[in-house]
Chains A and B, each alone.
Chain A
């Protein structure tokens, strides 16, 4: 059982979600985030002020999966989130100590298996 944390481009989110649903990865949480991954700064101008935007809008996905689903999930995100330009984001795979489904109290593997 792992927690997969992925940071992707917001404009790629629809494709990522589509890929995940096709891979039958159903339970996930997303949050809007800002970050910096070494991409070239975008320069903006507001009247006399020129600014470099060091933080770029990103979307963070948190997905708890059972071990057999780890590779499937990672592959789906890799395929769908990549543009080849700097700033495509990262995927982290973290160990999970416990997982509990609130509705039923199911734990661990049962908790990350999609509800029927």
Chain B
């Protein structure tokens, strides 16, 4: 996403499209909540979904306060500056052809989804507080610098690595962090001993569909304008996942003679990930080829991973890390200046592939190392993992005090403390009376009745 020079005035069409695109990318985080939430067991459904929703709050806040400045403020090759801390100097002035604060908001939705992606590696066992602390610090210490390297005027952009919408910045980055987080946390207690089945496959499909929808804003919005490049990225965001989905379904069918729904949703996401870095740089036929090729490494990475002791529970590394890596490298192969970007290997520019590989390697190395350090830092103060008992009970009730699916049977309303002091026998009787009349029991008497009636 290069900043056009010289900066023209704010353009109405560009601004309109980018507001829509920002909303689309924001939708991807709740979509991810459904995708991940459906894949876990029902006793962890809320915890898993809240891991994505919490990123909206924690990472969004960190982005506005400091992340944006560290990523896009004027600085050196490694990190942006502090000039935009607390959104100072982020106002109505033009940034490219957009109001500066809209650009900030759009980029903020990227920071949020990237951090939320990591949660898939640590579900069903990580405590909620340390998780929120981790993704917040991660968005400042890992996402912001890597974003600066590629898009904010940092060294990878200067080197000439291209990443249209975040194959490296978002997906390789999150994938590397996920790999490290899964290793640091260790596997779930039941991992490899019991079948850990998705509790709601329709949620997974719903999440996959909403991710695809939001991804049009992610990729086509990365043109930062309502122009032909945006149209190209939009079209490629349609075509590449189509090819990935087709290949994925075929691979499923060849391997097990069945085309699975969880596989289909996964295939869509992998295709979206893979086209992300290439979206505005390759033609539509190249996008189909890229999408088709990208299915293979991720498909087999998922099969292989599940036979190891690495409990990257929802395969963030295989889908986003491997998918992003393949996409970033194929961008260096398939990119063509005819479509408005740079030439890749096939257009006679092998150097581009090397620059893409350098960007991937640098991101893997930095994100992996820094994520490890952050987890160890937080782990030095508080335990990262839920207690054994909480893990077997499921994290929804112990961590959030709620259940995803409750019949309400046996739920007894706790009435607020009576306002009048020193009159305990009376309120107890009142509570009992209310319980009897309204079908909602309270106090010791009705509790005994509730239990007795079901004995």
Contacts and interface: CB of A to CB of B under 8 A. Distances in A.
A55 B451 CA distance: 8
B252 to A, nearest CB: 27
Nearest to B194: A14
Contacts, number: 57
Chain A interface size, under 10 / 10 to 19 / 20 to 34 / 35 or more: 20 to 34
Contacts of B451: 36, 54-55
Interface string A21-49: 00000000000001110000111111001
B411 interface: yes
Contact of A11 (B193, B393, B401, B406): B393
B255 interface: no
B413 A49 contact: yes
B412 A44 contact: no
Contacts of B450: 36, 54-55
Majority SS of interface residues in chain A? strand
B454 A35 contact: yes
The 6 closest A-B pairs by CB, nearest first: A55-B410, A11-B392, A50-B414, A51-B411, A36-B451, A54-B410
Max chain A Cβ within 10 angstroms of own Cβ: one of B389, B402, B412, B447: B412
Given A14-B194, A45-B401, A54-B447, A83 B389 contact: yes
Given A44-B402, A54-B411, 20 more contacts: A11-B393, A14-B194, A34-B409, A34-B454, A35-B454, A36-B454, A42-B397, A43-B401, A44-B401, A45-B401, A50-B414, A51-B414, A52-B412, A53-B412, A54-B410, A54-B412, A54-B450, A55-B410, A55-B454, A56-B410
Interface of B: 43, 190, 193-194, 389, 392-394, 397, 401-403, 406, 409-414, 447, 450-451, 454
Contacts of A42: 397
18 contacts: A11-B392, A11-B394, A14-B193, A14-B194, A36-B451, A36-B454, A43-B401, A44-B406, A49-B413, A50-B413, A51-B411, A51-B414, A52-B412, A53-B412, A54-B410, A54-B412, A54-B447, A54-B451
Contacts of B190: 14
A50 B412 CA distance: 8
A97 interface: no
Contacts of A83: 389
Nearest to B396: A44
Given A43-B401, A45-B401, A45-B402, A53 B411 contact: yes
A43 B454 contact: no
A4 to B, nearest CB: 19
Given A11-B392, A44-B397, A52 B454 contact: no
Contacts of A34: 409-410, 454
Contacts of B193: 14
